[in-house]
């Protein structure tokens, strides 16, 4: 005899609710809201489910996605109230300081990553055009950009403390305590 659909959905709803409540450390009201979002997404996407036996994995994946979206929205913004960068830091954040440092660091990247960063990041070429110029696929270009940007970020973090404005643009750059960097 096949399982009762009503009891199946009640079981799924209970599992979703318990998982969200545990992940949110007992915040039942938020867990209820997120469970409703999970079921809204389930309802919208139900016609795309091909195999009913994969329902459990699909629900878990949707629940995780809704929870991650919620946690990202809750991430605190960096408060810049009262921050007064030094005049040297303001000058370094301008067109010469940090930009020069980044250009110098691109030279230290592996050749294939540096070429991708130069074309897309510094020259402003469209990714598809850059991929064609380099003779690689768009996916390979994206991977090279991701790795190269990660290495640049590590180099900047080793050297400088960068304060960003609300749009993510550098506001100030100051050397870290352990840094021997002269760019900031």
Task: List pLDDT tens digits, range 69-78.
Answer: 888 887 665 5
Tell me the average pLDDT of the chain: 78
Question: pLDDT higher for 31 or 48?
Answer: 31
Per-residue model confidence (pLDDT) at position 63: 92
Contacts of 30 (CB under 8 A, 6+ apart): 20, 24, 70
Outline which parts of the chain fall under CATH 1.10.10.10. Answer: 87-175
Q: Give mean pLDDT, residues 105-134.
A: 86
| 172-181 contact pairs (CB < 8 A, 24+) | 172/83, 172/85, 172/86, 172/89, 172/90, 172/92, 172/93, 173/89, 173/92, 173/93, 173/97, 173/98, 174/85, 174/86, 174/88, 174/89, 174/92, 181/101
Q: What is residue 50's DSSP assignment?
A: -
- What is the C-alpha to C-alpha distance for residues 43 and 181, in angstroms, rounded to an integer? 55
Specify the domain boundaries for CATH 1.10.1740 within the chain: 5-74
Query: For the chain, how far is it from start to end, CA to CA, in angstroms?
Result: 72
Q: How far apart are CA 48 and CA 55, in angstroms?
A: 11
Per-residue model confidence as pLDDT tens digits over 35-83: 999 999 888 887 777 777 777 888 889 999 999 888 888 766 555 455 4
The alpha carbon of 136 is separated from its chain's Cα centroid by a whole number of angstroms, namely 25
CA angle 147, 108, 140 (to 5 degrees): 30
Cα–Cα distance for residue pair 131/140, rounded to 1 Å = 8
Class of the domain covering 87-175:
mainly alpha
- Neighbouring CB atoms inside 10 A of 87's CB total 8
Closest by CA position to 64, among listed 4, 122, 22: 22
In 3-state terms the chain splits into helix, strand, coil percentages (rounded to 5) of: 65, 5, 30
The CATH architecture assigned to 5-74 reads Orthogonal Bundle (1.10)
- Global pTM reads 0.44
Sign of CA dihedral 25, 27, 32, 36: negative
d(CA 6, CA 110): 58
């Amino acid at each position: 005899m096949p399982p009762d659909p009503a009891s199946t959905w009640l079981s799924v709803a209970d599992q979703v609710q318990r998982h969200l409540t545990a992940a949110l450390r007992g915040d039942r009201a938020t867990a209820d809201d997120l469970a409703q979002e999970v079921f809204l997404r389930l309802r919208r996407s139900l016609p795309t489910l091909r195999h009913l036996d994969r329902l459990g994995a699909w629900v878990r994946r949707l629940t995780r996605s809704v929870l991650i979206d919620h946690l990202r929205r809750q991430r605190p913004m960096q408060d810049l109230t009262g921050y007064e960068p030094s005049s040297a830091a303001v000058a370094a954040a301008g067109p010469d300081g940090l930009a020069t440092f980044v250009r110098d660091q691109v030279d230290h990247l592996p050749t294939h990553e540096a070429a991708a960063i130069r074309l897309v990041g510094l020259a402003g070429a469209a990714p598809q055009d850059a991929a064609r110029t380099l003779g690689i696929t768009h996916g390979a270009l994206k991977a090279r950009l991701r790795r190269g940007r990660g290495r640049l970020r590590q180099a900047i973090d080793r050297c400088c403390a960068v304060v960003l404005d609300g749009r993510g643009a550098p506001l100030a750059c100051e050397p870290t305590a352990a840094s021997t960097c002269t760019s900031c």
